[in-house]
Every structure is written in C-alpha cells, then in structure tokens.
Amino acid sequence: MTPHLRNLSGLTPAVGWLVASEPVPYPEALAFMEARAKAIAEGTAGELIWLIEHPPLYTAGTSAKAADLVAPDRFPVYEAGRGGQYTYHGPGQRVAYVMLDVRRRGGDVRAFVCNLEGWMIDTLATFGVTGERRSDRIGVWVRRPDRGPAVEDKIGAIGIRLRRWVSFHGISLNVAPDLEHFSGIIPCGVQTHGVTSLADLGMRIAFERRYGATFDA
C-alpha cells in the first residue's frame, strides 16, 4: 500500500520517494532523516518522502511522560526528538517520514500538519474507511459503532520536527500491526480510547515493498 498525496499541496516533481524493502532499525532511520533534512536546508539534496516499517519499538516524543511507558523492558525505547508523546512502531505499520521544505508550502506549520492528517484521511477513504480529526486529540480516528455509540479508535498518528523549516519524522498508519504491542504504552497519552488498524476493521491490504528512489511524485 502506497498512500497518495492529494492533500499535500505544493509538492513538485522534485520530491523523491524511497520505499524500504525491509524493516529499518530506528537509529539508522533517525540518522538518515537528520542528515537528509540538513542537506535539504543547505540546498544539496532534494526533498524526500520515505515509506518504511520498523522492528517493534517504542519512541518518546518531546512531551512524553514516564508514567505512560507501561512496559519499559518489552521493546527498545528511543528518544525521537519529534513532537508528541509515546508511540509504537512495528511491522505492518506504514510509516511515512516527510523531509519537506515547509516554507515552500506557505510556512504555516499548523496547515502542514493538517495536510498530513488529510493525507491519511484520503488514503483511508480509498478503502472505504472514514477517518476523522479531533480538536482535542492529535491523529486520525475512526468511529466504532459496533462497539458502542461513543467508541472510537486511533488508526493514524503524527509527530514531526522542523529544523531550518525542513520537516522530518512524519506519520504512521496502522495497516496490520500487532495491536497488542500498543499495550506497553499509553499511546500518545490517551487512555480513554483504543487503537485499531485496517486489518482490525476486516481489511487485508498489501504493502508495496521496493527499494529505490523515483522522482515522479
């Protein structure tokens, strides 16, 4: 599954795509993003969207609370440096790291984040799933009327960082991860709602896994 970009206005053919063929260790991914964002800011590399998976792990954003790490010895835990709190990454989750020049897209960080959420919402819509924003919660949510009139679960997370107006980190969409792995944290600090995935909603979606870069996005 390769999400599309209808909501990320301002993209040009200069934006590259990279799709990892196997899970990428988090320290390697972080080092790559740091270096690429620096090069983009210096004008020595093009913008890039990197679609990957990770081995099972937890990451802590800049607002993470120690009490929300319920099982600290379960999986490796990494300080991410992005916004947000604790989240889980693992196989079956489509992570999209966006190394983009936000100034080229109007310099409005709030609108940029909104467009990233819109990207996930548009992608879900192609599979007949209604994803929604919430004013008091970050990310993308789906209603679960089968489980109760007020039940909704998180299916997409977002956390970015800017350096010299270049973004890195990005979004994660739950395609078919092991949802039990989220029990080791309080995901994004939200205790009153759960998490779901396309598989949990009864859908089987294949990932596109290829390695290489294209420049026709």
Annotated active-site positions, please? Answer: 188
Q: How far is CA 182 from CA 69, 129, 145, 147, in A?
A: 10, 21, 22, 19
SS3 state of residue 213: strand
3-state secondary structure of 119: helix
User: C-alpha distances in angstroms, 154 versus 37, 46, 81, 121?
Assistant: 28, 32, 22, 12
Give residue 1's Cα distance to chain centre. Answer: 14
In this structure, the strands spanning 57-60 and 48-52 are: unpaired
| Tokens 């009139």, residue located | 149
